[in-house]
Amino acid sequence: MTESGERSAPSIGVFDSGLGGLTVAREIMRNLPMENIVYFGDTARVPYGSKSRQTVERYSRQIVRFLKTQNIKAIAVACNTATAAAFDAIKEEAGDIPVIGVIDPGARVACRETKNGRIGVIATRATISSNAYADAIHATRPEVSVIGKACPLLVPLVEEGWIHDPITDEVLLRYLDELLENDIDTLILGCTHYPLLRSTIRRLVGEQIRLVNPAYETAQDLAVLLQEKGIANTVPRQPDEPHPYRFFVSDEPERFAEFANSILPIDVSSARIVQIDEY
Ligand code: DGL
């Protein structure tokens, strides 16, 4: 497939602090193949995980304002940190446009999966310190223990492509040790980049621990949301039609396209630059 021009049906706006949110976009593409997507990655200002709530809110509001210029009908916040720190601000900025984040869907699966009531969460510093996953879990299952661990070194390791590397194993083991000592039986991969480490994490923690990738459930929830609102696209794409996805970044479009091509089942020839701080 080749890169699309414009398709007229409104799109799903998907955004992230950078490249990692493509793991969420990938699930939306798989689950909702008839939907158009506009993806924005804030590659100039990544990472969000080490920034304050106020800053993440300000950045997220700017992105929503930009997405609203792109004929969107719903927003999926792919970034765990933006969902954790700025969800209310994002919804406020979105106005009538429905918004979905990754935390409630991820928390719900973990609640369903845990047998011993001990759930681990790995995520950025900002996500862990917001307590957003623990709050979402406790809203339905207050008796469950949630053990959070901030893993700031994992995003750079993934972006460096060190997925299968002894150094990444070592770092992961250091982070996971405390969670394993706490006898967790379920682990939420609470950051966009961590699903790319899934097989490494699986090898390190063994088969007994359930690994939750919030992106799967988010895509399912998005399908339900579009149905409920009566805004799902029902027109199938023709085999010879170009893919209906547009990609925007705030910096380094070539690097983005390279990463996108390594994880998406489509050909991303380019991404367009947006001066996001002008929104
Ligand atoms: N996208 C972020 C998240 O899911 C990870 C990268 C960052 O720190 O910005 O939390």
How confident is the model over 140-156, as pLDDT tens digits?
A: 999 999 999 999 999 99
Q: Whose C-alpha lies nearest to ligand 1, atom 6? A: 47
191 in active site: yes
111 in active site: no
CA–centroid distance, 99 to ligand 1, in Å, is 18
Q: What integer pLDDT is reported at residue 9 of this predicted model?
A: 87
Low-confidence ranges of the chain (pLDDT < 70): 1-7
Question: Does residue 214 contact residue 104 with C-beta atoms inside 8 Å?
Answer: no
CA atoms of 61 and 124, how far apart (whole Å): 20
Q: What integer pLDDT is reported at residue 44 of this predicted model?
A: 97
Name the packing angle between helices 80-94 and 53-67 (round to 10°): 50
pTM of the model: 0.95
Q: Counting atoms of ligand 1 from 1, which one is nearest the CA of 191? A: 4
Neighbouring residues of 103: CB distance < 8 A, sequence distance ≥ 6: 80, 83, 84, 87, 132, 133, 136, 190, 214
Q: What integer pLDDT is reported at residue 7 of this predicted model?
A: 53
Instruction: List ligand 1's pocket residues with C-beta within 6 A.
Output: 16-18, 20, 46-49, 79-81, 124, 127, 155, 191-193
Residues in the chain: 279
pLDDT in tens, 37-92: 999 999 999 999 999 999 999 999 999 999 999 999 999 999 999 999 999 999 99
Question: Does residue 245 contact residue 5 with C-beta atoms inside 8 Å?
Answer: no
Question: Does residue 129 contact residue 107 with C-beta atoms inside 8 Å?
Answer: no
Q: Counting atoms of ligand 1 from 1, which one is nearest the CA of 124? A: 10
Catalytic residue among 25, 79, 85, 158: 79
Q: What integer pLDDT is reported at residue 213 of this predicted model?
A: 97
Nearest to residue 161, comparing CAs of 14, 8, 19?
A: 19
CA–centroid distance, 143 to ligand 1, in Å, is 28
Q: What integer pLDDT is reported at residue 207 of this predicted model?
A: 96
Q: What integer pLDDT is reported at residue 4 of this predicted model?
A: 45
Q: Counting atoms of ligand 1 from 1, which one is nearest the CA of 16? A: 1
Catalytic residue among 46, 158, 179, 191: 191
